[in-house]
Amino acid sequence: MHMADALVSPAVGGVMIAASAGLLWNSARRLKENFEPARVPLMGVMGAFVFAAQMINFAIPGTGSSGHIGGGMLLAAVLGSHGAFIALSCVLAIQAFMFADGGILALGCNIFNMGFFPCFVAYPLIFAPIAGGMKSPARIMAASILGCVAALQLGAFGVVLETLCSGVTELPFKTFALLMQPIHLAIGAVEGALTGAVLAFLKSSRPEVFEKTPKTPAKSACAALMIAAVAMAGGLSLAASSDPDGLEWSVERAAKGAEISADTPAHSASEKIQNSSAVLPDYNLPGSESALGGAAAGIAGTFAALAAACALGFLLRKPDSAS
């Protein structure tokens, strides 16, 4: 559900960048108050895991569309709302600048739609009450499915509203909404099931990753998650569905085949920035469409997400524990 710049006006893009920046600042401030340095590696590894998982598009049967997990609920369950929002923002920024996935002008929209709704709405209001301390796999699964479905529905409608307010396309509001909501209902259900399975497995096999105490999460847990991330990015992602994702699928049908584009100085500047920064466009080596190039690009992005999330985690250490 990565919005392209062509859907967003400079005004809406600017407002959403400001809104997401404000949420990031608040998350950093809140995290700095109680975040333990021992959890920095886990923050980095979880960011890398979600980056890799997002590369695996799964087909939605009978639609010609596909989806991928957003990862916000998974991150929030492990890192809490504020840590999750920061880690997911790192992932989305790397995807936009390094891989040209999602627009630079639309980055604020993407961070808000994919980060705010799962981390600050669905997680505290739906997941946490239903999961009830995550003592039961059944409750974890129910909380994950309901939370992810709600977050995806809110995020999908956010895309529709931001597109409508931008006014740079002629996508009919009703048609666009009626395409976006059902397809993301299906995607949310699959993401919820996958999220629930991962959380239930971690709770039973690596319960220490959920501890909020200063104890260092087991190195073996972080190592296992990182190995899984590399395997997904460098291997499983090659089997991902090539069908358009839910947003692209909805735009194509709402536009009835018409090309969606926008031409303003802000869009041109965004395109120039992205063209110069995207060293691995379309998740492959420059000029390559090979499976090996895709695997290398995926692994590179996984380690970039790890480095970015870890770097922010170290910057947010409490002053009295930074030495």
Structure token pair of residue 317: 């250490």
The residue to which tokens 């995020």 are assigned: 155
pLDDT, tens digit (0-9, with 9 covering 90-100), for 216-260: 556 778 888 999 999 999 888 888 888 999 999 999 999 887 778
- 58: three-class secondary structure by DSSP: strand
Does residue 10 register a pLDDT over 60? yes
pLDDT, tens digit (0-9, with 9 covering 90-100), for 192-216: 999 999 999 999 988 888 876 655 5
Q: State the chain's maximal CA–CA distance in angstroms.
A: 59
Compute CA 286 distance to the chain's CA centroid, rounded to the nearest angstrom: 24
The residue to which tokens 């999908």 are assigned: 156
The residue to which tokens 């009295």 are assigned: 320
Strand duo 58-60 + 65-67: pairing: antiparallel
The reported pLDDT for the residue numbered 321 is: 44
Give me the amino acid identity at 139: R
- Average pLDDT (315-322) is 58
Element containing residue 215 per DSSP (H, E) = none
Are the C-beta atoms of residues 24 and 31 closer than 8 Å to each other?
Answer: no
Q: How far is CA 167 from CA 12, 108, 153, 173, 287, in A?
A: 10, 17, 22, 10, 35
pLDDT, tens digit (0-9, with 9 covering 90-100), for 144-186: 999 999 999 999 999 999 999 999 888 999 999 999 999 999 9
The residue to which tokens 């190592």 are assigned: 223
CATH 3.40.50.2300 assigned to 5-216: no
pLDDT, tens digit (0-9, with 9 covering 90-100), for 37-90: 777 888 899 999 999 999 999 999 999 999 999 999 999 999 999 999 999 999
- 212: three-class secondary structure by DSSP: coil
Residues 51-64: b if buried by 16+ CB within 10 A, e if exposed: bbbbbbbbebeeee
The residue to which tokens 């895309």 are assigned: 159
**Distance from the first to the final alpha carbon of the chain:** 40
- Average pLDDT (289-314) is 89
C-alpha to C-alpha distance for 143 and 146, rounded to whole angstroms: 5
Percent helix / strand / coil, the chain, rounded to 5: 75, 0, 25
Element containing residue 273 per DSSP (H, E) = helix 265-277
For 104-159, list the strands marked E by DSSP: none
Q: DSSP class of residue 66?
A: E
Does residue 322 register a pLDDT over 50? no
Q: Residue 287: is it exposed, middle or buried by C-beta count within 10 angstroms (0-12/13-18/19+)?
A: exposed
pTM score, two decimals?
0.92
C-alpha to C-alpha distance for 251 and 247, rounded to whole angstroms: 6
C-alpha to C-alpha distance for 169 and 172, rounded to whole angstroms: 9
C-alpha to C-alpha distance for 194 and 148, rounded to whole angstroms: 10
The reported pLDDT for the residue numbered 78 is: 93
Task: Look at residues 141, 144, 152 and name the one whose alpha carbon lies nearest to residue 116.
Answer: 152
Structure token pair of residue 139: 């409750």
Does residue 319 register a pLDDT over 70? no
Element containing residue 67 per DSSP (H, E) = strand 65-67
Q: Where are the domains of the chain?
A: 5-216
Q: DSSP class of residue 258?
A: P
